A and B are shown apart, each in its own frame.
Chain A
Amino acid sequence: MMENAWIIPLFPLVSFFILLVVGKRMKEASAYVGMAATLLSFIGAVAVFAERLNEPTYQVKQVWFTIGNMNITAGFEINPLNALMLVVVSLVSFLVHMYSKGYMHGDERFSVFYAYLGLFTFAMLGLVISANLLQTYIFWELVGLGSFLLIGFYFYKEEAKAAAKKAFIMTRIGDVGLLIGMILLFWQTGSFQYDDIFAAVKAGSVSETMITLSAILIFIGAVGKSGQFPLHTWLPDAMEGPTPVSALIHAATMVAAGVYLVASLFPLYEASEPAMLTVAVVGGFTAIFAASIGLVQTDIKRVLAYSTVSQLGYMMLALGSGGYVAGIFHLTTHAFFKALLFLAAGSVIHAVHTQDIEKMGGLWRKMPLTAPLFLIGTLAISGVPLLSGFFSKDEILVAAWTNGHVILFWLAVVAAFFTAFYMFRLFFLVFGGDMRGDAHDVHESPTVMTMPMIVLGVLAVVAGYINTPWFGTFLGDFLTGETNVHEEAPAWIMVVATAVSLAGIFLAWLMYGKKSLSRDWLSSRAPLTYNVLFNKYYVDEFYTITVGYATKVLSLFLQYVDRFIVEGLAGLIASLTKAIGTLGSRWQNGQVQMYGAAMFIGLTILVVILAFTGGYL
């Protein structure tokens, strides 16, 4: 199956074209086309994964086009990371396709939604089997297109329009970094192929400065896509898209592409100390930065969005600390539990028709399936022992500690505390207490929506066991191709992680569950801090008054240049022509003396030129 792995992304592409052409007539039956396509992809992905378990990496490349005597190749590669990503992406995509059938029911543009989902899934699957940087870049941009289209799915809403535009532009800023980094590497190594680049780096034929420069430039691309600080602002706004989209694109798959990219280029990063440090610091900072914003948000999807940003920061921190396996491990578990959380949140929104958690409450009994599933996701992300998030987060903390990033380690611990707190704040506000809004005829979502959530719920519990210090490091062995002796990590790290997680949960319970602590504890005691957090550190405002205005002012300035200087030049040429014309016509006055004088002057000029140049210039 590995040699035919290129077919896997094509199923959703076919679905995209079919739905684009005949979707309107198929109405809601479109869902079956999309589901069938992704199911086929998933089956293919599992087959490839199973085959790759026992076989070496498979790679194909072909000449795509030529520039002079340089060949630009295209192909695909099935290495452990790619095989794993194929399974994760196609599985989540299939579940989201299924879920959307219920969630999008009755929407006027139902088939368009499924078409876009197909386009996105195609691009994402293509991305994770790319064997070279150029191809990665191509699919990288195409997933961005899918994301853009789906964020702006409710195109008539001004917010959705603004969010879609913002997402496209913010990620494009990062993409330019990736583009430059990629081109620099090409001229250094003569190839876009990953293995050629690694070989050149290993052989030392690329200077250290160049490695660092291109690695950091490429990382800028990852920062944009994975919503890392300072390009994170688009991701929370992207929640304007339909909730299944948030689950698929803005939680489980596309936003993890940045992490995947750094992981794919890991040998490049390992060759540069400063690049690794940059990745770790940006990741660590983003983890705590976003978590702190998540503490006070009141929109259910935005809390989850900041949580995603924060968790992606964790993954970057892991990679930057040399924890290759830890980063990918967390990527995998996060994909499951965060998709679960978003789908559960979607189920809640579907039932109460609001995203404001202040208007929810008391849903535990009314939604007997969604509520426990949301709880599972919450426990998993909070790092409660024995669930998937616990193991992967522990790995990251261990990586940060053993790598000597003491400050980053403690930042990550605090972020873990924040995570547990804001997630349980969310849980208690939505499911605990009494209904605060006006939605009273709340009922559980249909089976087609709860089924995918149950699958993800199971995975959120058990996915951690593919890589544990107790039962074996299967994932690590598979990814690195060798039997890992689990590093002798200080046992106290696990204890600390568990302690902060439980402390966060306990505090949330005190404030929002038992209510023995006042809810407005922070807003009343430190209003300034609260406001800063609530307004997301004013980053958006800062961009508006700096980059936003600068662009506008420069453009308007150029507008004046264009209107007055360039047009003035045009006017000058026109009047010059006119003046010469007037002058010439004045000489044509019918007097022989004047003609004689003109002839004489003309002849003189010619003679002078002849005398000076000898006839030829």
Chain B
Amino acid sequence: MNDTYFLSLLVFSPLLGIILLAFVPKTQEQTIKLLGFLATLPSLILALFAFGQYLRGYDLSRLAEKHAWIHFGKFSFLSESTFTVDYELNVDGFALVMIVLTALLATLAAVASIHIKKEWKGYFMLFLLLEIGMLGVFAAGNLVLFFIFFEVTLVPMFFLIGKWGYFEKEKAAYSYLLYNGIGSAILLLVILILFARTGTSNIAVLQELLRDPQGAVQMIAPISNDLRYGLFIALLVAFGVKLPIVPLHSWMLRVHVQAPPSIVMLHSGVLLKIGAFGLIRFGMGLFPEQFQRFATLIAILGVVNLLYGAFLAFVQEDFKMVLAYSSISHMGIVLIGLGALNEAGIQGAIFQVVSHGLISALLFLLVSIMYERVHTTMLDHLGGLAKAMPLVSGFLLAGAMASLGLPGMSGFISEFTAFLGLFKAKPAIAAVGTLGIIMTAVYLLRAVLNMTYGTAKRGVIEAADIRTVELVPVLILLGCIIFIGVYPHILAQPLEATIQTMMNGLGG
């Protein structure tokens, strides 16, 4: 509305890094790595600044940006803004939290990228492009822009997996593209229908139009109740691929295992969360009534995710697979919270989004550090790591503890709050879900103790412990996890308004 460019600056600042990188000769490894890391900093600083201001009471709507962008024909008989797509960015508490998470993980993943072995120039350019996409998704003010940013994440991810990944990287990359392509196609369909029927793609306006029975009058064409259900289910599938909801998950297993760990930090830490973000923002935000009708199903899907992932994680031979199934399992908590349809549940779901982002980033950072030294993540080949690498082992154990929901760490707060919500709404489903709490401990301890405890295997004994440059990001992540666990108010406060809006939408 006015002439602030804060959000644009925040979202597009990595572009500067891309441009600068273009002028660096591709053999200058150190310069490229340093530049890649520095290019993530402006976004982080701006995001933290905005977050700090918001906590002090700054009104986020003042950050909104709007510039005329695309016009479709002239509809002088309708209002001025019909069938236009503006360039609009805005954030609320939830989006801002996600932006801070993204910017933070991007910086830390850039540090973890020191373990990348080849073609650093291309890698960092794609990396920064990926960051722009992720930041943009959370700041987008309308569906078209959201979709564009959403797609911007897709392309660099494809190449990052396919080129810098492990043994079966190509297969993983295509699997990623196929699933997410279908998800995107469905999403695009939903966006197009909404745009055609209402003449707008602005999220806030859509929210009002769809909710308000009077709003139907202002629409270009009415949206019947059946169509609403159709659109809602389409959204559920589109974001269900991303989250992922069982059985749409097989692509993400491959990505977890085949992509370079620094990219998995972002994939598991942020990209999966776009699924949750979309489900909350659009599924629940635009179609509250439909969401309510599907709440029980969503809660059941959550419990299925939780248990399915947990049981499968229990029999994996590769630590990365354990973590992949663990991600599926933990995303179940998000669905459990949303299915509860009350404040506690929604708060728990959003907490889990943030908390799991931090925890899985920490674990994959440690995988990266470990792989660098012992060149395997197979549980059978590892053992007794604690002898040679006491610090890495200690951090792995801390990460596992965070992941299994040890109080004092962020995982507990989110798990507890989500279950608190579901026990009020649907105690029977919740009771089944608590089995997952036990199973999480079982599979995580099995995996981590197999690697770090016991007798040291050959090839492991001489491995060096963590270096300072690796230590700092680990400590930052662990610090955040513990800080949220001890002082959850830091998350509860910025989310308060968003959750209140959600609850109003649900009529609660």
Q: Which residues of A contact B (CB under 8 A)?
A: 64-70, 134, 137-139, 141-142, 145, 152, 155-156, 158, 160-161, 164-165, 168-169, 172-173, 176, 179-180, 183-184, 186-187, 551-552, 554-556, 558-559, 562, 565-567, 569-570, 573-574, 577, 615-617
Q: For residue B27, give the distance in angstroms from its CB to the closest CB of chain A.
A: 39
Contact of B489 among A65, A155, A179, A559 (CB under 8 A): A65
- Given that A68-B343, A68-B503, A176-B437 are known contacts, is A169 also in contact with B423, CB under 8 Å in the complex? no
Pair B454/A161 contact, Cβ less than 8 Å: yes
A566 touches B249 (CB 8 A): yes
Measured CB to CB, the closest approach of chain A to B191, in angstroms, equals 16
Decide: A65 near B311, CB < 8 A? Known: A141-B407, A164-B449, A176-B434: no
What residues of chain A lie closer than 8 Å to B449, measured between beta carbons?
A: 152, 161, 164-165
Interface residues in B367-425 by Cβ distance below 8 A to A read 384, 386-387, 401, 406-408, 412-413, 416-417, 419-420, 423-424
Whether the pair A169, B417 counts as a contact (CB closer than 8 A) is: no
Give the residue name and chain of the A residue nearest to B308 (CB): A558
Return chain A residues, CB-CB under 8 Å to B197.
616
- CB-CB under 8 A from A165, the residues of chain B are 445-446, 449
Contact B455 A156 (CB under 8 A): yes
A555 to B329, CA, bound (A): 14
Interface residues of B in 489-503 (CB under 8 A from A): 489, 492, 496, 499-500, 503
B453, A161: Cβ atoms closer than 8 Å: yes
In the complex, B22 has a CB within 8 A of chain A: no
Judge whether A617 and B178 touch: CB under 8 Å.
no
Point out the residues of chain B lying under 8 angstroms from A156, CB to CB: 384, 386-387, 453-456
Say which residue of B230, B384, B423, B445 sits within 8 Å of A617 (CB atoms): B230
Measured CA separation A565–B249 after assembly (Å)? 12
Say how far B58's CB is from chain A's closest CB, in angstroms.
20
Residue B3 is within 8 A (CB to CB) of chain A in the complex: no
A residues near B416, Cβ cutoff 8 Å? 134, 179
Apart from A68-B500, A616-B197, list 18 A-B contacts with CB within 8 A.
A64-B488, A65-B413, A66-B496, A67-B347, A68-B499, A70-B344, A134-B416, A156-B384, A161-B454, A168-B441, A168-B445, A169-B442, A180-B434, A555-B314, A566-B247, A567-B250, A577-B178, A617-B226
14 contacts between A and B (CB under 8 A): A64-B489, A67-B492, A134-B416, A168-B445, A172-B437, A176-B434, A176-B437, A187-B423, A559-B315, A566-B249, A570-B175, A570-B250, A616-B227, A617-B224
Q: Which 10 A-B pairs have the closest CB atoms?
A: A68-B343, A138-B407, A161-B453, A65-B488, A617-B227, A555-B315, A155-B453, A555-B311, A65-B489, A65-B492
Q: Given contacts A165-B445, A169-B442, A556-B315, are A68 and B453 in contact (CB under 8 A)? A: no
Chain A residue with Cβ nearest B417: A67
**Closest Cβ–Cβ distance, residue B195 to chain A (whole Å):** 15
Contacts of A615 in B (CB 8 A): 221
A183 and B423 within 8 A (CB): yes
Q: Complex formed: what's the CA distance from A615 to B454 in Å?
A: 69
Contact A186 B492 (CB under 8 A): no
> Contact at A172–B438, with CB atoms within 8 Å?
yes
- In the assembled complex, the Cα of A165 lies from the Cα of B443 at a distance in Å of 10
Contact across chains for B454 and A155 when beta carbons are under 8 A apart: yes
Q: List residues of B (172-190) whose CB comes within 8 Å of A's CBs.
A: 175, 178-179, 182
Nearest CB to that of B431 among chain A residues?
A180
In contact, A68 and B344 (Cβ under 8 angstroms): yes
Contacts of B384 in A (CB 8 A): 155-156
Query: For residue B224, which residues in chain A have a CB less than 8 angstroms away from its CB?
Result: 616-617
Q: Closest CB-CB distance, B106 to chain A, in whole Å?
A: 27
State the CA gap A615–B220 with chains docked (Å): 13
Tell me which residues across on chain A come within 8 A of B455, comparing CB atoms: 156, 158
Residue of A nearest to B385 (CB): A155
- Which residue from B312, B347, B417, B445 sits with its C-beta under 8 Å from A562? B312
Q: Does B479 contact A (CB under 8 A)?
A: no
In the complex, per-residue mask of B344-369: 1 if CB is within 8 Å of any chain A CB, else 0: 10010000000000000000000000
- A404 smallest CB distance to B (angstroms): 34
**Chain B contacts of A567 at CB under 8 A?**
250
* Chain B contacts for A562, CB-based, 8 A: 250, 312
- Shortest beta-carbon distance, B7 to chain A, in Å? 28
Nearest Cβ on chain A to B228's Cβ, whole angstroms = 10
Task: Give complex CA distance A414, B375 in Å.
Answer: 59
Contact A616–B221 (Cβ < 8 Å): yes
In the complex, the answer to whether A187 meets B424 with C-beta atoms within 8 Å is yes
Measured CB to CB, the closest approach of chain A to B280, in angstroms, equals 16
Q: Name which residue of chain B comes closest to A152, CB basis.
A: B453
CB distance from A329 to the nearest CB of B (A): 30
State the CA gap A469–B414 with chains docked (Å): 51
CA distance A393 to B435 in the complex (A): 38
Instruction: Decide if B222 touches A179 in the complex (CB within 8 Å).
Output: no
Q: How big is chain B's contact interface, by range?
A: 35 or more
Q: Which residues of A contact B178 (CB under 8 A)?
A: 570, 573-574, 577
Q: Does B251 contact A (CB under 8 A)?
A: yes
Residue of A nearest to B499 (CB): A68
- Tell me, rounded to whole Å, the shortest Cβ–Cβ distance linking A148 to chain B: 9
Kindly state whether residue B82 has any CB partner on chain A within 8 Å.
no
The reply to whether A142 and B221 form a contact with Cβ atoms under 8 Å apart is no
How far is the CB of B156 from the nearest CB of chain A, in Å? 23
Indicate whether A137 sits within 8 Å of B407 (C-beta atoms), given known contacts A179-B419, A558-B312, A574-B178: yes
User: Contact between A573 and B407 (Cβ–Cβ < 8 Å)?
Assistant: no
Using Cβ atoms and an 8 Å threshold, which residues of chain A touch B207? none
Residues of B within 8 A of A168 (CB): 441, 445
With A67-B344, A180-B434, A567-B250: A573-B182 Cβ-Cβ less than 8 Å: yes
Residues of A within 8 A of B489 (CB): 64-66
B406 near A145: Cβ-Cβ < 8 Å:
yes
Given contacts A67-B344, A551-B314, A556-B315, contact A176 B438 (CB under 8 A): yes
Asked if B268 CB lies within 8 Å of chain A CBs, one says no
Chain B residue with the shortest CB-CB distance to A186: B420
CA distance A558 to B305 in the complex (A): 12
- CB neighbours of B344 from chain A (8 A): 67-68, 70
Contacts of B488 in A (CB 8 A): 64-65
Return A575 CB to nearest CB of chain B, in Å: 11
Q: Could you tell me the distance in whole angstroms from the C-beta of B338 to the nearest C-beta in chain A?
A: 15
Task: Tell me, rounded to whole Å, the shortest Cβ–Cβ distance linking A151 to chain B.
Answer: 11
Tell which of A160, A172, A554, A565 touches B311, judged by Cβ atoms closer than 8 Å.
A554
Query: Does B201 sit at the interface, judged by CB under 8 A?
Result: no
Q: How far is the CA of A555 from the CA of B227 in the complex (A)?
A: 39
* Chain B neighbourhood of A180, CB < 8 A: 423, 431, 434
Q: Which residues of B contact A176 (CB under 8 A)?
A: 434-435, 437-438
- In the complex, whether B452 has a CB less than 8 A from a CB of chain A is yes
User: Quick one: CB contact mask for B443-473 with A, threshold 8 Å, 1 for yes?
Assistant: 0011001001111100000000000000000
Contact, CB under 8 Å: B406 / A141: yes
- Once bound together, how far apart are the Cα atoms of A65 and B499, in whole Å? 15
| Distance between Cα atoms of A574 and B179 in the complex (Å) | 9
Tell me how far the C-beta of B269 lies from the nearest C-beta in chain A, rounded to whole angstroms.
23
Smallest CB gap from A187: residue in B:
B424
A160 contacts which chain B residues (CB < 8 A)?
Answer: 453
A179, B437: Cβ atoms closer than 8 Å: yes
B242 to chain A minimum Cβ distance, whole angstroms, is: 15
- A569 near B423 with CB under 8 A, answer no
Which chain A residue shows the least CB distance to B347? A67
- What are the residues of chain B within 8 A of A67 when measuring CB–CB? 343-344, 347, 417, 420, 492
> In the complex the two chains form, what is the Cα distance from A371 to B439 in whole Å?
45
Residues of B within 8 A of A570 (CB): 175, 178-179, 250-251
**Is the pair A138, B312 in contact by a Cβ cutoff of 8 Å?**
no
Are A569 and B247 in touch, CB under 8 angstroms? yes
Please state if B438 and A169 are interface contacts (CB–CB under 8 Å).
yes
Residues of B within 8 A of A134 (CB): 416
Q: Which residues of A contact B315 (CB under 8 A)?
A: 552, 555-556, 559
What A residues does B406 contact at CB under 8 A? 141-142, 145
Interface string of B328-349 (1 = CB under 8 A from A): 0000000000000011100100
Interface residues of B in 204-230 (CB under 8 A from A): 221-222, 224, 226-227, 230
